[in-house]
Structure formats: structure tokens, C-alpha cells
Structure 1
Amino acid sequence: MTSDHSSTHRVVVIGAGHGGGNVVALLRQYGFGGPVTLIGDEPAAPYHRPPLSKAWLKGTASAQSLALKPADFYATQNITLRLGHAAEAIDRDTRRVALADGSSIDYDTLILATGAHARPLPLANTARPNVLTLRNMADADRLKHALGAGKRLLIVGGGYIGLECAASARALGADVVVVERAARLLERVASEPIAGFLRRHHERNGVRFALGAQIETIEGEEAASAVTLVDGRRFDCDAILVGIGAAPNTTLAEGAGLACDDGITVDADCRSSDPRIFAIGDVVRRPHPLYGRSLRLESVPSAMEQAKHAAAAIAGREPPHPEVPWFWSDQYDLKLQIAGLPFDADTVVVRGDPETGSFGVYHLRGGSVVTVEAINSPPDFFAGKKLIASGKTVAPVELADPAVPLNGIVA
């Protein structure tokens, strides 16, 4: 834990996403009284990012509804905002952060919450005005302007971002084609029963898929107008959305000489190889006690948990108990909720009938649940989450039988 809790101890946070926005609030909640400064390269104060692919695209969310905190929160909590300012370098010897505008900010403790950036499409000639990614509000606005009745959107990548945007684009009347290089959707992040169900649901809503496919060329003089796949298929388009994963923003950390390995490596308290520098969020690789290995998890719940650990360490509080990782995705009228990670799972149990649109998929290892995936079934999600945390051994035959109450299995 940090030893200096005086009113002059300066905490500077770089990155105003979910991690950065939450950690400054938690520092005040945990009683930290020193100066707190939040640096963000976007002009907006911290905001919720998951709605960008859904409600924001469809025009059912406002900037006010997306804000993490009310507009006056930071002033009332004596948190200094430096928005629209990118951090360029960290001098660990002088404990100073240099900003792009030529100014600098001194720190006693620094928190890096620099997030991740969209992986670029590994093709030539992708720098076109209508080849888009989705990581922030500006990206979402560009995509929003490319959608509408009769517009043709080609999505590269059958992951969560791609599928959520496909659902939103269809709601706005756009024609949607999803190109995925794997043989199925969500290959790295969801089971086959879930992926197959989502594919069928999207197809019923008019989305077309090209699976096991890769783009060979992008056509068009300035803007992209069509793509040709390696197998010869060709699709006209008005815009291309690239959603093929994200890479951690480690440039600042690497420039400062911090230990990195597909993310900034930190300890359980989110402290980096420099004890005065913490790191949280998508940029972090952190040991997870439930799995006995270091993981880099890209999710809002993970960023919030890490913010709690870092704020507790800085404020001199006991660390919170480790949480079961969880994730979610909203597509059309479907809510997918996932808890846990299926490391070394040896048994898969489907509870309920997928054709009803409400079911759970449980992954077990040695008779204990390690992951649950639930479509429109909060009871399965919450029961699975409790079973993962407890490590209790369960009978697969009971888990598969909807007639057996979940409460009895969890108890």
C-alpha cells in the first residue's frame, strides 16, 4: 500500500475511459484527500462506451445519458480535468508527465488507464474515409453517419463489436454483410452453441455472413466501394467497419521503461514494475487468483474491479475480494451474459432449449462450473456466477434438467 496519504500527495491519471473515470471517483470515495488530476485525449469527460455500438448508433442515447458522472461531479470532488490533452511521455526520475501541448504535470503516484486501440486491417490501401473502427464517440459518430435505409455496411470480424453493430445497422435499415476469417462466429470468446444461435438470429434479421473468408482487395478510388474476397466473392459497400480485436496502448509505458507483455504487467494491486505507477483497464495484464495465471481482459467490469484495487492500495484500504470476470453483449432483443473463463473445461452442458430464445451453457472442469453463458436468462447467469465463485461440484445431469431448480443446485 502507498505510504503517503497526506493532503499534498498528488495522483495523476492518464486515460479518461471507464478505468480512469472510475478510479478518480473511488479515490475520493475511499477518503483520499490529495490533489487528483485526470488527463484524457478526448474532449469529453468519461462516458459509458458499450452503448456506442447500440443505443448511440440508433439515436436513443444522449451525451448526458452516456456520462459516467454528472457534469458538476469533478468540480465538487476537487478533481482536475485535463481533457483534449494527450500525454506524450513519462519521466520517472522527476515524476513528471509531458503533454502534447508542451505543458507538464507532476505526480507522486501515477495511474495509467490508456486502454486499447482497434487492430488495423492487414491490407494495403485501408486509409480511406469510409473504412472505420469503433473505440470512441468520434468513431461512433462517423459510423452513425454511414448508416441508414439502403446503405450497405460491410463488417470485417464476427466478434462482439461486429455483431452488435450489425444488429444496430439492421435496425436502421442498412444492408449488412459480415466477413469472418474463422469458420464460425465468436470463435475465441464464446461456445459453439452460443455462436450458432446468434448466427441464426442475425440471419433471420437479414444479416449475411461470409465465414472462413478473407478480404483480398478493397476497391474504390478514394472511398471504399467494394471488397473482393480471396475466394472470388465480391460485395459492394458504402462503408467498411473493421472489428478484428484490440491491442493495448502501451507506448507510454514502454517509453518509460515499464515491464510490458501484451499489456502493462502489474501485481494484484495493479502496481506496475515502478511502485509509484499503477495501471488499470484494457491495457493491463494482471494475475488472476481464480485462474492462477496472468490475464489481459477487455471488459468494463474488469476495468472497474482494477480501479477498486488501485484506489484501495493508494488510499491505504484493504484490497477488495477478487471478482469472477464477467461480460455482456446486447444484440436485437437478446442479452448475452457470460461469467468466468473456460480454461481446461472438460464438459459442456446446455440448460434449456435454444429455440425458445432463453437458455444457458455451462462449462465444467472436474465437476465444477468454470464458465456460464446465458442468453436472455439472468437466473442462469447469476447461478453460474455463484457456482464459479464457490467452486462447488455439481452433477451435469441436474444442471441440464430445467425441472431441477437452480437454487437447489447453487445451495
Structure 2
Amino acid sequence: MAGSPHVVVVGSGLAGYGVLRELRKLSPDATLTLVTLDDGHFYSKPALSTAFAKGKIADTLVTTPAAKMVTQLRLDLRAGREAEAIDREGRLLLTTGGPIDYDTLVLALGADPVRPAVDGDGAHRALAVNNLDQYRTFREALPDAARVLIMGGGLVGTEFANDLVSAGYRPIVVDMLAHPLAQLVPAGVGDRVRDALAEQGVAWHLGRKVVAIDKVGAGLRATLDDGRVIDAEAALSAVGLRPHTRLAAEAGLEISRGIKVDVTGRTSDPHIYAIGDCAEYVQGLAAYVTPIMAAARAIAPSALGTPTEIRFPTLSVQVKTTHHPVVLLPAPVGQAGAWACEIDDERGARWLFRDGDGTVLGYVLTRDRCQERMDMDKLVSGQMQQAAA
């Protein structure tokens, strides 16, 4: 890329700032512009689901204020601006603050909370907590020891249940599936997580869904599909996230579940890249911290003119359920195989997911056995390399 390149990044989460850090390391002279609808402060989004127990308010979750990020990375920060459209031919990003030209555009748009179809005049009061402002709104509206209806028992819902009960609130989790974390772990693990959190005071309604939420005074009353009624002071929607693809789709970029990218993170437009929760890599969606950082290390040189392949390490995940710790490597989506419990004793459990050839492609560790994470990552990585050879 001749001269001093201008790279525009849309999104100030871990993905956006991760790319900007790598870009600045590689190119002291590049012009870097960050466009964000937020205020540009840097914080850890995964910390949102552990913040209640730690007594954190929204302001104390900020690890680096926007002004300091601007100074450190020598950014042109366009905060409070919405990216409205992309003029690919003219290489212009159209924003609510006016057009911005780019040599390379990096989309770090994140994902949007899925809104469940729920009837009732209180349905709109079911809040999603996917950014700092949403956390602030949720926390400030929550009375002490409140009953909190949580719709969704996946990763986010279960982590929030653990966090809220640890902080003295009374979570009530409703999920259509049979056990918590059902899309990630076998029933034997999910049942243990359920029981451990139930001992702390979490109420579970599994195999059920909320069909209506109505206002009752200052509180809410939820009706389940079996007619049962649940009263609560607040409701949290945690039924999942959907990659933010609208901006890319309207610009004519190739879209599937997310914004399709190649092995370097480049979209179907050679001047546009995508990273993080909005991106669909060759391997599929990868919405965790480790793949974001790996992608940033490759996308930065690629955006500056040196195509670099993204190399994901083994993508294991720590589930932040302190009352029953879990570390897991999810089984590949659509992969034929089966979970088997290898060991279950006073130290915890170890489950392995094997394909038809006996190759270990996933694992779950609980409690003290979470310390075996690095060894398991090495085992799985080695077996997958052998299988590919």
C-alpha cells in the first residue's frame, strides 16, 4: 500500500481496538480512524456477566478511557457516530457525522441480542445486557435482592445467573432446552451446573419458554407455555446473539450467518475486512476473546498490504460459573460423534467428544479439573493435526 494508508475501523469493542493496536505496532505512520456509536471507552465485555458479584458499576468496568486510547494509539476517534452505509466504489464510509474516506475498512460490528417473541405489555422491559450502557441501565434499575427473570440458559444466561445469585439477587432461569449450557456441554455436566446454582438459590424452569410478560405495579409477571406464572422485579433477555450483518449486506458484501471472510479476514470486497462476532471465518463463527486476538494479529498486516493467514489456536472457553467451574472446547458444529465421561470424582469431571475414528475433538472439564485445560488443548490440537495429515 503506497504512502501512508488510511484504515477506518467501525466498532470499539475488543475486536476493533485489537486491530487498531496491531495496526499501530506495524505502522507508526498510518492514519487510523475509529467510528463507534459508543463513547469509545475500552472495557472487557466478558466482564459484564461477572460484574454484580464484584460490586462493579458501569464506570468502574472501564479499563482505559477513550481519551487515553486516542493518545496511546494516535487515533482519530469519531464517537457517537453511526455507520449508515458503505460506498464501496468511492471507498467512503457514510456516517451520521458525515462521510469518511478509507483505503481499508475493518468492520468490527459485533453481534445484536436476539429478541424473543413474547407477548404482553411488559415484554419491552426484558433487557439485553451486551454493552456497558445496557449494563448501566440494568444495574441502576435493579432493587436489592430483586427477583430477576432470565430468559435463556446458555452461556450468557447461566453466567448471569451465577453472578446475580452471588450478589444476593434471586435469578429465575427459563430455557426451552433440558439443561443449562445445552448447546455446549453434555447433559451430565449441565445437570451438575443446574444443581450447584440451585443450591445457591437459582430457580430453574427448563423445557419451558416465556410466552408473555405483563406489568404488575413496579414489577413484572411472566407467563410460561405451561401456564405457570412467575413474578419478578426485572427481566433479562439472554436467548442468544446474531452477528451484525446489516451494514455489510446493504453494501453487497457476501453474507451467510455472518459477514463471510477468507483466511486473511478479507470480505468479498478486497478493501474491506471483518473481525469478531460479526465475522464468519472459514472455520465458522468464533465469538470469543482468543479468536478475536488471533484474527487481529493477521488482519492488521493484511489490511496494510501483507496478506497474512489467520491461525486460530485451540479455542477452549472458560465458563464463568464460580459455583461449579467449567472449561470446555465445544464439539465442532455438525460433527458426528459422541460425548463420554472419562472420569468423575471428588476433583471434578472430564468429558471427551470423539468422532467415529476415536479422535478427540472436544472436551469439558469441571471444578478442579479445569486446571487440566492446557494439557487437553495440546491433546486435541495434536490429534486434529494427525487426523488432517
Query: What is the TM-score of this pair, normalised by structure 2?
Result: 0.90
CA 1:30–1:326 in 2, change beyond 3 Å: closer, same or farther?
A: farther
Give the AA of the match of 2:89: D
Cα distance in 2 for partners of 1:216, 1:317 equals 49
Cα distance in 2 for partners of 1:386, 1:61 equals 38
Q: Which residue of 1 is the match for residue 301 of structure 2?
A: 312
Give the AA of the match of 1:312: P
Query: Please, which of 90, 101, 109 is the counterpart of residue 106 of structure 1?
Result: 101
Could you say what secondary structure the match of 2:119 adopts? coil
Task: Tell me if 1:273 matches 2:265.
Answer: no
CA 1:62–1:140 in 2, change beyond 3 Å: closer, same or farther?
A: closer
Q: Deviations over 1:260-306 (max 9, x none)?
A: 01110110111000000000011111112xxxxxx112212222222
Query: Please, which of 321, 326, 336 is the counterpart of residue 331 of structure 1?
Result: 321
Q: Which residue of 2 is the match for residue 97 of structure 1?
A: 93
CA 1:176–1:320 in 2, change beyond 3 Å: closer, same or farther?
A: closer
CA 1:258–1:58 in 2, change beyond 3 Å: closer, same or farther?
A: same
Deviates more, 1:13-22 or 1:38-47: 38-47
Q: 1:11-410 alignment to 2 at 5 Å?
A: 11-31=7-27, 33-55=29-51, 58-60=54-56, 63=59, 66-67=62-63, 72-101=68-97, 103-125=98-120, 130-220=125-215, 225-288=220-283, 295-315=284-304, 316=306, 318-319=308-309, 321-343=311-333, 344=335, 346-353=337-344, 356=346, 358-365=348-355, 366-376=357-367, 377-391=369-383
Q: CA deviation at 1:76?
A: 3.4
Q: CA RMSD in A?
A: 2.5
Cα distance in 2 for partners of 1:64, 1:145 equals 14
Could you say what secondary structure the match of 1:26 adopts? helix
Cα distance in 2 for partners of 1:171, 1:379 equals 23
CA 1:33–1:358 in 2, change beyond 3 Å: closer, same or farther?
A: farther
CA 1:108–1:176 in 2, change beyond 3 Å: closer, same or farther?
A: same
Q: Which residue of 2 is the match for residue 400 of structure 1?
A: none
Give the AA of the match of 1:338: L
Q: Deviations over 1:10-55 (max 9, x none)?
A: 1000011111010000111233631011111111323210111112
CA 1:240–1:207 in 2, change beyond 3 Å: closer, same or farther?
A: same
Q: Would you say the 8 A contact 1:5–1:34 is kept in 2?
A: no
Q: CA deviation at 1:320?
A: 5.2
Cα distance in 2 for partners of 1:203, 1:137 equals 28
Could you say what secondary structure the match of 2:43 adopts? coil
Q: CA deviation at 1:237?
A: 0.9
Deviates more, 1:236-245 or 1:367-376: 367-376
Task: Tell me if 1:6 matches 2:3.
Answer: yes
Cα distance in 2 for partners of 1:146, 1:131 equals 12
CA 1:146–1:287 in 2, change beyond 3 Å: closer, same or farther?
A: same
Could you say what secondary structure the match of 1:139 adopts? helix
Q: Would you say the 8 A contact 1:345–1:370 is kept in 2?
A: no
Q: Would you say the 8 A contact 2:249–2:255 is kept in 1?
A: yes
CA 1:349–1:381 in 2, change beyond 3 Å: closer, same or farther?
A: farther
CA 1:33–1:364 in 2, change beyond 3 Å: closer, same or farther?
A: farther
Deviates more, 1:54-63 or 1:37-46: 54-63
Deviates more, 1:33-42 or 1:344-353: 344-353
Query: What is the TM-score of this pair, normalised by structure 1?
Result: 0.85
Unmatched 5+ residue regions in structure 1?
Answer: 289-294, 395-411
Q: Deviations over 1:126-168 (max 9, x none)?
A: 6656321110011112222344543111111101111111122
CA 1:223–1:13 in 2, change beyond 3 Å: closer, same or farther?
A: farther
Give the AA of the match of 2:36: G
Q: Would you say the 8 A contact 2:263–2:310 is kept in 1?
A: no
CA 1:66–1:192 in 2, change beyond 3 Å: closer, same or farther?
A: farther
Cα distance in 2 for partners of 1:19, 1:130 equals 29
Cα distance in 1 for partners of 2:270, 2:122 equals 40
Q: Would you say the 8 A contact 1:19–1:281 is kept in 2?
A: yes
Q: Which residue of 2 is the match for residue 405 of structure 1?
A: none
Unmatched 5+ residue regions in structure 2?
Answer: none
Q: Would you say the 8 A contact 1:264–1:279 is kept in 2?
A: yes
Could you say what secondary structure the match of 2:42 adopts? coil
CA 1:199–1:171 in 2, change beyond 3 Å: closer, same or farther?
A: same
Q: CA deviation at 1:112?
A: 0.4
Deviates more, 1:310-319 or 1:178-187: 310-319
Q: Would you say the 8 A contact 2:298–2:310 is kept in 1?
A: yes
Cα distance in 1 for partners of 2:27, 2:93 equals 25
Deviates more, 1:90-99 or 1:212-221: 212-221
How many correspondences in the alignment?
382
Could you say what secondary structure the match of 2:81 adopts? coil
CA 1:158–1:352 in 2, change beyond 3 Å: closer, same or farther?
A: same
Cα distance in 1 for partners of 2:89, 2:350 equals 52
Q: Would you say the 8 A contact 2:52–2:167 is kept in 1?
A: no
